[in-house]
Amino acid sequence: MKQKQPSSPSRQSSWEQWFKELKAFNKTHGHCNVPSRYSLNSTLGSWVDRVRRAKKQGTLAEEKVCRLDALGFRWERQTPWKQRIKDLKAFKKAHGHCNVSHKYQPDLALGQWVPSP
């Protein structure tokens, strides 16, 4: 019986690098729901899609699933509208209003999504 070979160091390092990128995205945006066409790093969005697919297929290592879960990773993609509503509710809770500046640094996309007063 042939044993499964462990991931090569370069493949593992690549996963670690993408995980690091995802952590940075999460720190900036407060979530891990990277859009497929994320303008600042479109490859990160593709990686997130591949990770979701790997888990669904049962090919993602449990250790990686646990690390992503600890980061608050959502295994089902949320629609952009639902995510924005959630982001806006969090903004209102933190600031007491919904007047998000279009230059709002933690989440520029939210500032651009909310209409100006």
Lowest mean pLDDT among 22-26, 74-78, 79-83, 102-106: 79-83
The rounded mean pLDDT for the chain is 83
On whether residue 5 sits in a domain, the answer given is: no
Same domain for 52 and 87? no
In single-letter form, the type of residue at position 34 comes to V
Q: Which domain covers residue 106, as residue numbers?
A: 78-117
Element (H, E) at 96: none
pLDDT at 117 over 90: no
pTM above threshold 0.75: no
Answer yes or no: do 69 and 55 share one domain: yes
103: in domain: yes
Q: What is the pLDDT of residues 65-90, one digit of tens each?
A: 999 999 989 898 766 787 788 889 99
- Identify the pLDDT of residue 113: 83
Planar angle of CA 95, 81, 29, nearest 5 degrees: 50
| 43 and 58, same domain (yes or no) | yes
Is residue 17 located within the same domain as residue 56?
A: yes
User: Structurally, how many domains does the chain consist of?
Assistant: 2
Residues 44 and 85 placed together within one structural domain of the fold: no
